[in-house]
Amino acid sequence: MEKIKWVINRMSRTDDRKLEIMSLKNVRQARAFHQSFPQYTVTPLARLDGMADRLGLANVFVKDESFRFGLNAFKVLGGSFAMARYIAREMNKDIQEMTYDYLTSERFREEFGQAVFFTATDGNHGRGVAWAAGKLGQKAVVHMPAGSSRQRFENIAKEGAQVTIEEVNYDDCVRMAAREAEQTLHGVIVQDTAWDGYEEIPAWIMQGYGTMASEASEQLRENEANRPSHVFIQAGVGSLAGAIVGYFTNLYPENPPTFVVMEASAADCLYRSALAGDGEIRTVEGDLSTIMAGLACGEPNTISWDILRNHADAFLSCPDWVSAKGMRMLAVPLKGDPKVISGESGAVGMGVLASIMGSEEYRELREALRLDRFSKVLLFSTEGNTDSEKFRSIVWDGEYPSVETQA
């Protein structure tokens, strides 16, 4: 059985200019925007005391994004805020003027008109962009990579977007969306990956993700846990990871948590970059096949990489069984713990934490991260059950077991 691979971050630091993107002020602006939506509620922070006791930890908390805006995933936070920032810039207005009431008004339609927002997605980001575009009277065009879930495709189509499944991988879908946006009147690409010449919108998307981190920090205080000692965060292109690491680094500048970044082994570009140790980005090509569809990205976000190389403590490359293990553990909790319905890209943190704490095989990693009975661990379940057939296959039927099975 394939093992979790890991590397402790020993890369030299840069001037760290990208950290300012996730300043507390910028995140407050994003959260104020989201709070203007009538659909906004703070998503739950599940406190798993039974699990913490079993694993030998002080606390385990899981931010449950299956409740976000009724869309079953966190991604809408980034896409919607980036769209609002883009509109504000085009109209020469302040972001604070971009409230839900204004953006859905006839006055806004008359003053701005209509743009076409292009994006590539495995499902969650595209659904968020489509939903936000629909609410704000805009158009959305969404491209999905080969092998995408039909259920996720249909969920995007239901939001009114033009959506296709292409015979290429995610990174090629990004390039396709970027080309089409350039060729379209009032077209703009809304993507959470960044490259030279395309960093403004990805930075806004990261700030949108900061709403989730801001909520979690408040909820930790309400649970009298205050500062988490460890934050485990999954990564595809790394935008979410950079956003979470950046926010908590700014929140606790003198004593930041230990940050653990987790990727699918089929698309572990950040792990490979950290393993090389020279600070340069590595990419992963090919079909990037993994059940963690939201993490199947082979080309890192350049903004996030700068934050992560400066502040992440460890990078992990995780086989699919790790996520499947986490899904089962969260769906069938210990007595007294709340249930968390977590999808394939959402549960990898639980699977990783359980493996590190429960197996002597990862003792060296456990000690390197200083995980013990005093540790307060924060995880993010970034999606719920977004592909019902795959979810049942894993949770009901035991697909991708975490132990060797006899034929």
Look up residue 359 and give its two tokens.
Answer: 């197996």
Q: Can you say how many angstroms the Cα of residue 177 is from the centroid of all Cα atoms in its chain?
A: 20
Ranges of residues in the chain with a pLDDT under 50 are 406-407
Inter-helix orientation angle 239-251/302-311, to 10°: 50
pTM for the full model? Answer: 0.96
> Which pLDDT score is estimated for 165?
96
> Which pLDDT score is estimated for 404?
61
Spell out the alpha helix ranges (H) of 92-149: 100-103, 106-112, 124-135
pLDDT per residue over 54-105, tens digit each?
A: 999 999 999 999 999 999 999 999 999 999 999 999 999 999 999 999 999 9
Strands of 5-8's sheet in order across: 5-8, 314-318, 258-264, 230-234, 376-381, 59-64, 45-47
> Which pLDDT score is estimated for 195?
87
The one-letter code for the residue type at 162 is Q
> Which pLDDT score is estimated for 403?
78
pLDDT per residue over 238-253, tens digit each?
A: 999 999 999 999 999 9
Q: Which amino acids are annotated catalytic?
A: 75, 122
> Which pLDDT score is estimated for 9?
98
Give the single-character DSSP code of 65.
G
Q: Name all domains of the chain by residue range, CATH numbers in brackets.
A: 5-73+201-395 (3.40.50.1100), 76-196 (3.40.50.1100)
> Which pLDDT score is estimated for 406?
45
